[in-house]
Chain A
Amino acid sequence: GENVEQHPSTLSVQEGDSAVIKCTYSDSASNYFPWYKQELGKRPQLIIDIRSNVGEKKDQRIAVTLNKTAKHFSLHITETQPEDSAVYFCAASGSGSARQLTFGSGTQLTVLP
């Protein structure tokens, strides 16, 4: 089955700096890669996703890049703000009928004021 590895497990940045979180996946058939943000005690919420026919996608301060050859994808957050502090999860999904997701282990991002 699919295996998703995520690094780093913790990341501290100064407010206004950029943050980058990286994930690798093992199944070359995976074709959908979402990123979720989870605040303490809350449910995961989708912040951005990318499909395998696209190399990069941006949404305001957030961007995701995908390298299918190397089987890795990354989340980039620019101009970080204290409210960006949360746990971020990457995930990968194949072509199964339910498009089930395999999640990375998460990155605790702390933005220092």
Chain B
Amino acid sequence: NAGVTQTPKFQVLKTGQSMTLQCAQDMNHNSMYWYRQDPGMGLRLIYYSASEGTTDKGEVPNGYNVSRLNKREFSLRLESAAPSQTSVYFCASSGTTGPYEQYFGPGTRLTVT
């Protein structure tokens, strides 16, 4: 099992460009999440999906959109990138019945210039 995979690993964008971060899990988990991690601020939830077909806003959703393509895949889109979106982005997944551990992907380091 690959667990949670993310592409790309690194990305540099210019202000105003768009891109989609891809995430997939092979653990048959119902719930998936997108976080951003900035120095000294821990992980902040951007969007989550409790199950296939549903998505909800987290703590910092502005400037992002998501798509739960199927049970395995959950993508994050930046429509018009801004320097404030420079961050490391982590995708995670978990089951909805115990245990509740969230498994994280390797992350995408995004720089917006």
* A28 interface residue (CB < 8 Å to B): no
Contact with B along A72-113 (1 / 0, CB 8 A): 000000000000000001000100111111111110000000
User: Are B43 and A89 within 8 A (Cβ)?
Assistant: yes
Of the 9-residue stretches B18-26, B79-87, B100-108, which lies at the interface with chain A? B100-108
Smallest CB separation, B38 vs chain A (Å)? 10
A-B pair number, CB within 8 angstroms: 59
Where chain B touches its partner, the secondary structure class is loop
Residues of A within 8 A of B78 (CB): none
> Which residues in chain B, 42-57, are within 8 Å of chain A measured between CB atoms?
42-45, 48-51, 56
User: Are B58 and A100 within 8 A (Cβ)?
Assistant: yes
Residues of B within 8 A of A101 (CB): 33, 43, 45, 102
User: Are B58 and A43 within 8 A (Cβ)?
Assistant: no
A105 vs B41: C-alpha distance when bound (angstroms): 5
Smallest CB separation, A36 vs chain B (Å)? 8
User: Are A103 and B100 within 8 A (Cβ)?
Assistant: no
* A14 interface residue (CB < 8 Å to B): no
* A9 interface residue (CB < 8 Å to B): yes
* A44 interface residue (CB < 8 Å to B): yes
Interface residue count for B (Cβ, 8 Å)? 26
Question: Which residue of B59, B102, B106 contacts A46 across the interface (Cβ within 8 Å)?
Answer: B102
* B75 interface residue (CB < 8 Å to A): no
Smallest CB separation, A97 vs chain B (Å)? 4
Smallest CB separation, A31 vs chain B (Å)? 10
> Which residues in chain A, 34-71, are within 8 Å of chain B measured between CB atoms?
34, 42-46, 49
Given contacts A43-B106, A49-B100, A103-B44, 12 further A-B contacts (CB under 8 A): A32-B100, A34-B102, A44-B90, A49-B99, A98-B31, A98-B33, A98-B49, A98-B50, A100-B48, A103-B42, A105-B40, A106-B40
Which residues of A come within 8 Å of B, CB atoms?
1, 6, 9, 32, 34, 42-46, 49, 89, 93, 96-106
